[in-house]
Amino acid sequence: MKPVRIVTPFPPGGSLDLVARLVAADLTKVWGQQVIVDNRAGASGNIGTEMAKNAAPDGYTLLINTLPFVTNQFVYSSMPYDPLNDFTPITVVSSVAAMLVSHPSLPVKNVKDLIALAKAHPGKITYATAGPATNPHIAGELLNHLAKINLFVIHYKGGGPASAATLSGETQLYFTSTIPDAMQHVPSGKLRALGVTSAQRSPVAPQIPTIAESGVPGYEFGTWHALAAPAATPRPIVNQVSERVRANLKSPEAIQRYRERGVEIVANTPEEAAAFLRKEVQKWRVVFKERGMKLE
């Protein structure tokens, strides 16, 4: 029996990779069959996603992906896949709120202060990203769009270098990939927590306000993790995988294990996952157009 492969189109270390490994470990136990995570990074997820699209539609190759899965079409002039037509959604596994943090040298204590400073000095305050069109970039441009400010973006090759740049003061702001990531450095004063990106406060850090309640009504950003299969995968296989994954995710042990890592379970049906992805395409089309986010 050959192993099942979960293609993860980003490098190890981020929240998508973490969730892929948790899902793979659970499925290996339940199926008694090896499920491996295959990291195929590059081009903001396009390389690994195209590879999964072209895999045999037999259930042995799955894809786990996040926001660039639906937003890359707005920044790349040509695309190797169509997120809605080349894949069959299995489930949205989970979502993760990010935290906006600042280097302590930036003279702001909260999001209201940041907006006032950014309006007084347009284009002068910098934020780090894990690369063009990655989740921290999208989170920052959503803030620019809704708060009517112009933070200046600096791209790095991955979340690790971007986080290090803000810790060192090379950049002034960063959206961390998870809230526990930020909370390693906030108590010591190495970073200042300005707000969480979710609609509600996080159970991991309930003392930190949301960006929405801090002066940017409507701000909501979450890194979701969607599991999908190549489009021609037979429906019975899709349903079987979806049911198994959702059953694993809904156990109290799984909920606790994910929550400790700052991850909230979603575990919706294939139909709900498809509707969610369609809605995400519509939402982000507006933001990307407004902010002129393009890669040439």
What is the pLDDT, as a whole number, of residue 158?
Answer: 80
What is the mean predicted confidence (pLDDT) over 17-34? 94
- The whole-number pLDDT of residue 279 equals 94
pLDDT at 117 over 60: yes
What's the pLDDT band for 98 if we cut at 50, 70, 90?
very high
Residue 248: pLDDT over 70: yes
Q: Which helix (H) or strand (E) holds 39?
A: strand 35-39
Domain boundaries, the chain: 4-94+221-291, 99-214
- The three-state secondary structure class of 67 is coil
pTM: 0.85
Q: Could you say which DSSP state residue 54 is in?
A: T
| Mean pLDDT, residues 90-119 taken together | 97
Task: Tell me how far apart the alpha carbons of residues 28 and 121 are, in angstroms, rounded to a whole number.
Answer: 53
> What's the pLDDT score for residue 295?
67
Query: Which of the pair, 96 or 293, is modelled with greater confidence?
Result: 96
Which CATH code fits 4-94+221-291? 3.40.190.150
Q: What is the DSSP string of 83-137?
A: TTTSEEEEEEEEEEE-EEEE-TTSS-SSHHHHHHHHHHSTTTSEEEESSTTSHHH
Which helix (H) or strand (E) segment holds residue 53: the answer is helix 46-53
Tokens of 249: 């995710």
Scanning the structure block, which residue is given the tokens 């910098």? 126
The pLDDT, as a whole number, for residue 262 is 84
- Measured distance CA(176)–CA(160) in Å, rounded: 10
Q: Which amino acid is at 213?
A: E
Q: Do domains 4-94+221-291 and 99-214 have the same CATH topology?
A: yes
Quick one: pLDDT at residue 105?
Answer: 98
Bridging pattern class, strands 126-129 and 152-155? parallel
- Residues 6 or more apart whose Cβ sits within 8 Å of residue 27: 4, 33, 35, 244, 245, 248
According to CATH, the superfamily of the domain at 99-214 is Periplasmic binding protein-like II (3.40.190.10)
Mean pLDDT of the chain: 93
Higher pLDDT among residues 2 and 296, named by residue: 2
Q: What is the pLDDT of residues 150-193, one digit of tens each?
A: 999 999 988 889 999 999 999 999 999 888 888 999 999 999 99
52, pLDDT greater than 70: yes
Under a CB-based contact definition with an 8 Å cutoff, are residues 163 and 174 in contact? yes
By the 8 A CB rule, do 144 and 157 touch?
A: no
Tell me the two tokens of residue 119: 């309006």
How far is residue 114's CA from residue 151's CA, in Å, rounded to a whole number?
10
Torsion sign (Cα): 175, 179, 184, 189 = positive
Query: Residue 225: helix, strand or coil by DSSP?
Result: strand
